[in-house]
């Protein structure tokens, strides 16, 4: 077995680990020997001080020097063995569960002086230590400082120490994968040495140096894997798309606004990709309402003009419909647009599939149904995926492969995330970012209101309705773990119905998909003025007429989520409002969130603040991104190492360095389980 195989082997293969222990370790997400290494000491226990019995503190781990005074080995099942020890200030009991007499006699020989150590407790008016962890007859042989690991119930410190020591002793030497420059940056500390040092009590207070090297490894591996997916995708030459910009001006005439600079820049970047002989694999990122749809439709038009078909995948039926309507409106009649969703009837569907395979449809908009096996395109040239932050790197790669060699890929996401996160989640793609919103877009005015003042809010709502505006009223799930708990929204709906009669609709996760869409359509067509809902209001739907969102119990939501919710309004040119309702006694953190929201509408800024408050793991979309959490690296705190790794990967790409050199690294950290797919 080579070093890597050893590290990736099951923890069962360590002698002394049976099914029971391995099940306990699994609870801590430790499956392989490599996993075990990442359970770094949480802390170190200092045993360098020897305490007298009258100076012991209950609950602390302390070390003492005592004389073994008396054995008490009851011959009754379930009663523990006891050894009474003393020093010149008092007595203490050592209690042993499940230990043989012979063993106890050996480690605590009668009338000898010994060093014992363990957690001090108090029972029957006497100090005691249960299963003392470190016993020695020689003061000098007691390990002065011991690492402390985070363990689960049932796994004791001593056993764990033994396991980890076994592993550390047989840690293989791996060939250095870092370049000479990088290695030097981390003081030439090898991977193995970093690990050993981090588990070593000597380094009690100075893990920084060793940790950084390991964090860098982790980031580098993530980036290298993305980079190889990327180069794999780019390797196959595609037919260049050939188009001129004429038809675009006809589109521009049909929309009543001018594109923003960021939109124009994104279009340029996309066009460049389309015209090149390398496959486009691009992320278009922009905050809610930044105008991604028009950019993607212009890209579609260019692809269609170069005699290719386009597939546009929306996350929901209603969004597909909305995109479809827009496409019909802005494209000339000679361009054939169609829509295919789960609801499309059999006959219609058959016709669409036939037209599609015969090349009679230029742009097909739809939901997931667009990529079922039965569907054959005539000449697919571009896939657009809207709001799919649930796609991980592996699924994207699959999609790109399935789309065929001439097909470009554009993914759109409305989750504004900092750059280190983009590099992590979307490192396999090129990115275009729409940062600025359309100029005439007014800031959404954000207020916070104590729920006691509900009467004022109701008055405001009625006034807005009177002016022809529409309102979202969001209630949180009362209990996140019970996804069916819609009480708060139902209650609010009942109250509003009494006042607003049939002008209010209710939307929650317990409704069937059809039912949900029906209500949204009603809202879109202005048959109702208010939607009371849980957070299910879909991402991305354009309700230009909705200009007020009221969020009850706003403190229950995270910052990014509040921002996304707020983004449901303010898409038209109307003045829009977001009212954050709260109860008394807000926590400091909740106050902070509300303050940040009031102060800015910039999604990027907000997500950065959110990461600072909650850590990156909770960031919207990250969990679904298919990127497993880093063990050590943190995109907020290790930004410098992320940038360093990015630079290094660029260098590796540029100098065409053979990735074989990084084989061990990649195998160890294959976090997306993707390696098999790409090499
Ligand atoms: P998102 O980026 O969230 O998908 P949309 O593409 O749905 O945003 O656009 C939101 C709204 O902004 C739409 O009503 C769209 O017509 C409008 N819009 C897009 N670009 C501009 C622009 N440059 N100027 C003014 N309005 C725009
Ligand atoms: Mg959108």
> Is the C-beta atom of 294 inside 6 A of ligand 1?
yes
- Residue 408 in contact with ligand 1 by CB distance below 6 A: no
Q: Is any atom of ligand 1 closer than 6 Å to the C-beta of 257?
A: yes
CB of residue 38 inside a 6 A radius of ligand 1: no
pLDDT value at position 679?
A: 47
Give yes or no for residue 293 CB within 6 A of ligand 1.
Answer: yes
What superfamily would CATH give domain 246-434? P-loop containing nucleotide triphosphate hydrolases (3.40.50.300)
Instruction: Determine contact, residues 94/129, Cβ cutoff 8 Å.
Output: yes
Q: How far is the CA of 323 from the centre of ligand 1 (A)?
A: 12
Helix (H, G, I), strand (E, B) or coil at 109: coil
**Do the beta carbons of residue 121 and residue 57 sit within 8 Å?**
no
- Distance spanning both ends of the chain, measured CA to CA: 22
Nearest protein CA to atom 5 of ligand 1, as residue: 291
Secondary-structure breakdown of the chain: helix, strand, coil percentages, each rounded to the nearest 5: 45, 20, 35
**Domains 48-143 and 246-434 belong to one CATH topology:** no
Closest ligand to Cα 440: 1
CA of 617 to the centre of ligand 2 (A): 24
Nearest by Cα to 473 from 461, 459, 456, 485:
461
CA 535, CA 11: separation in Å to the nearest integer? 42
What is residue 607's predicted lDDT score, i.e. its pLDDT? 83
Mean pLDDT by 10 residues, the chain (679 residues): 86 84 85 86 76 91 91 85 94 88 89 90 90 75 70 75 88 93 92 90 71 93 87 86 86 90 96 95 89 95 96 87 93 94 90 95 90 86 81 75 86 83 85 87 88 92 93 77 65 90 85 83 92 74 87 86 86 87 84 90 85 68 59 85 94 87 86 58
Instruction: Give 437 Cα–ligand 1 centroid separation in angstroms.
Output: 8
For ligand 1, whether the C-beta of 570 sits within 6 Å is: no
CA distances from 99 to 25, 127, 146, 273, 654 (A): 23, 20, 23, 71, 62
- Identify the CA nearest to 546 among candidates 520, 568, 563: 568
Distance 293 CA to ligand 1 centre (A): 7
Q: Is domain 48-143 classified as CATH 2.40.30.10? A: no
415 lines ligand 1 (CB under 6 A): no
Those residues with Cβ within 8 angstroms of residue 466's Cβ, 6 or more apart along the chain or in another chain: none
Q: Counting atoms of ligand 1 from 1, which one is nearest the CA of 567?
A: 3
Tokens found for residue 554: 């706003």
Ligand 2 midpoint to CA 433 (Å)? 14
Give the ligand with the smallest distance to the CA of 433.
1
Q: For residue 187, count other CB atoms closer than 10 A to its CB.
A: 11
Question: What span, in angstroms and rounded, lies between the C-alpha atoms of 490 and 494?
Answer: 6
Is the beta carbon of 73 within 6 A of some atom in ligand 1? no
- Ligand 1 within 6 A of CB of 74: no
Could you tell me the distance, in angstroms and rounded to a whole number, from the CA of residue 441 to the centre of ligand 1? 9
Please state, in angstroms and rounded to a whole number, the distance separating the CA atoms of residues 101 and 119. 22
Ligand 1 pocket, 290 CB below 6 A? Answer: yes
Q: How buried is residue 169: exposed, middle or buried, by Cβ count under 10 Å (0-12/13-18/19+)? A: exposed
Cα–Cα distances in Å, from 69 out to 97, 102, 124? 19, 16, 18
Q: Distance (Å, rounded) from C-alpha 172 to C-alpha 3?
A: 5
SS3 276: coil
Q: 505 C-alpha vs ligand 1 centroid, how far in Å?
A: 26
Given ligand 1 and candidates 261, 263, 266, 289, which is best to mutate, with the most ligand atoms within 8 Å of its CB?
289
Tokens describing residue 131: 């299963």
CA of 387 to the centre of ligand 2 (A): 7
Q: How far is CA 313 from CA 296, 365, 373, 507, in A?
A: 11, 6, 15, 24
User: Is-contact 320 347, C-beta < 8 A?
Assistant: no
Give whole-number Cα distances, 391 to 251, 315, 625, in Å.
31, 11, 6
Residue with CA at minimum distance from ligand 1 atom 20: 291
132 Cβ closer than 6 Å to some ligand 1 atom: no
> Whose Cα sits closest to atom 4 in ligand 1?
292
Measured from the Cα of 542, ligand 1's closest atom is 7
pLDDT of residue 146: 73
- How is the chain split into domains, by residue range? 1-43+156-169, 48-143, 173-236+638-679, 246-434, 445-600
Instruction: Kindly state if the Cβ of 321 falls inside 6 Å of ligand 1.
Output: no
Residue 571 CA, ligand 1 centroid: distance in Å: 7
| Residue 289 CB–ligand 1 contact under 6 Å | yes
Distance 213 CA to ligand 1 centre (A): 44
**Secondary structure (DSSP) of 120-140:** EEEETTEEEEES-S--BSSGG
- Give the ligand whose atoms come closest to the C-alpha of residue 296: 1
Task: Compute, in degrees rounded to 10, the torsion defined by CA atoms 531, 475, 417, 677.
Answer: -90
Name which residue sits closest to atom 19 of ligand 1, judged by CA. 291
Q: Is 534 in the pocket of ligand 1 (CB under 6 A)?
A: no
Answer yes or no: are the C-beta atoms of 141 and 154 closer than 8 Å: no
pTM of the model: 0.76
* Atom in ligand 1 nearest the alpha carbon of residue 295: 6
Task: Give the Cα separation of 475 and 579 in Å (integer).
Answer: 12
**Is 540 close to ligand 1, i.e. is its CB under 6 Å away?**
yes
Atom 16 of ligand 1, nearest CA residue: 291
**Superfamily the domain 445-600 falls into:** P-loop containing nucleotide triphosphate hydrolases (3.40.50.300)
């Amino acid at each position: 077995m080579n070093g890597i195989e050893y590290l990736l082997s099951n923890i069962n293969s360590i002698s002394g680990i049976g099914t029971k222990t391995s099940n306990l370790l699994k609870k801590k997400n430790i499956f392989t020997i490599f996993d075990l290494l990442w359970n770094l000491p949480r802390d170190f226990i200092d045993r360098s001080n020897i305490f007298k019995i009258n100076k012991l503190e209950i609950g602390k781990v302390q070390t003492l020097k005592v004389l073994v005074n008396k054995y008490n080995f009851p011959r009754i099942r379930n009663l523990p063995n006891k050894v009474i020890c003393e020093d010149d200030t008092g007595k203490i009991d050592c209690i042993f569960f499940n230990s043989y007499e012979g063993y106890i006699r050996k480690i605590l020989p009668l009338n000898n002086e010994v060093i014992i150590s363990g957690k001090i407790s108090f029972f029957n008016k006497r100090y005691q230590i249960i299963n003392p962890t470190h016993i020695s007859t020689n003061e000098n042989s007691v390990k002065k400082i011991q690492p402390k690991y985070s363990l689960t119930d049932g796994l004791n410190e001593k056993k764990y120490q033994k396991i980890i020591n076994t592993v550390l002793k047989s840690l293989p030497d791996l060939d250095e994968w870092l370049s000479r420059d990088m290695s030097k940056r981390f003081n030439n500390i090898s991977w193995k040495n970093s690990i050993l040092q981090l588990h070593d009590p000597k380094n009690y207070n100075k893990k920084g140096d060793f940790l950084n090297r390991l964090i860098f490894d982790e980031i580098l591996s993530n980036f290298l894997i993305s980079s190889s997916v990327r180069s794999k995708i780019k390797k196959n030459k595609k037919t260049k798309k050939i188009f001129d910009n004429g038809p675009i001006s006809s589109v521009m005439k049909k929309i009543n606004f001018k594109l923003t600079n960021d939109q124009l820049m994104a279009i340029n970047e996309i066009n460049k990709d389309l015209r090149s002989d390398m496959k486009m694999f691009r992320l278009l990122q922009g905050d809610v309402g930044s105008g991604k749809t028009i950019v993607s439709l212009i890209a579609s038009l260019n692809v269609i003009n170069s005699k290719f078909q386009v597939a546009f995948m929306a996350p929901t039926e209603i969004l597909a419909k909305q995109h479809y309507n827009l496409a019909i409106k802005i494209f000339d009649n000679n361009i054939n647009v169609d829509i295919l969703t789960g609801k499309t009837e059999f006959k219609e569907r058959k016709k669409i599939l036939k037209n599609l395979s015969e090349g009679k449809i230029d742009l097909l908009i739809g939901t997931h149904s667009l990529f079922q096996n039965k569907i054959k395109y005539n000449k697919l040239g571009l896939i657009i995926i809207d709001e799919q932050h649930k796609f991980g790197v592996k699924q994207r790669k699959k999609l790109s492969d399935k789309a065929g060699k001439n097909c470009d890929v554009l993914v759109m996401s409305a989750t504004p995330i900092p750059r280190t996160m983009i590099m992590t989640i979307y490192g396999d793609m090129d990115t275009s970012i729409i940062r600025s919103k359309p100029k005439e877009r007014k800031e959404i005015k954000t207020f916070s209101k104590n729920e006691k003042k509900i009467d004022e809010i109701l008055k405001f709502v009625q006034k807005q309705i009177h002016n022809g505006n529409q309102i979202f009223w969001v209630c949180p799930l009362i209990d996140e773990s019970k996804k069916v708990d819609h009480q708060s929204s139902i209650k609010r709906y009942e109250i509003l119905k009494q006042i607003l009669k049939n002008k209010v609709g209710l939307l929650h996760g317990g409704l069937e998909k059809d039912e949900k869409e029906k209500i949204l359509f009603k809202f879109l067509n202005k048959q109702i003025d208010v939607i009371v809902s849980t957070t299910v209001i879909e991402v991305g739907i354009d309700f230009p007429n909705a200009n007020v969102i009221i969020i009850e119990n706003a403190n229950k939501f995270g910052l990014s989520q509040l921002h996304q919710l707020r983004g449901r309004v303010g898409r038209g040119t109307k003045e829009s409002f977001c009212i954050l309702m709260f109860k008394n006694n807000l926590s400091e953190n909740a106050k902070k969130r509300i303050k940040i929201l009031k102060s800015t509408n910039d999604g990027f800024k907000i997500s950065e603040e959110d990461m600072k408050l909650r850590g990156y793991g909770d960031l919207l979309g990250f969990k679904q991104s298919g990127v497993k959490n880093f063990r050590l690296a943190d995109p907020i705190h290790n930004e410098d190492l992320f940038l360093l790794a990015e630079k290094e990967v660029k260098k590796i790409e540029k100098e065409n360095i053979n990735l074989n050199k990084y084989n061990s690294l990649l195998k160890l950290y294959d976090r997306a389980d993707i390696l098999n797919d790409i090499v």
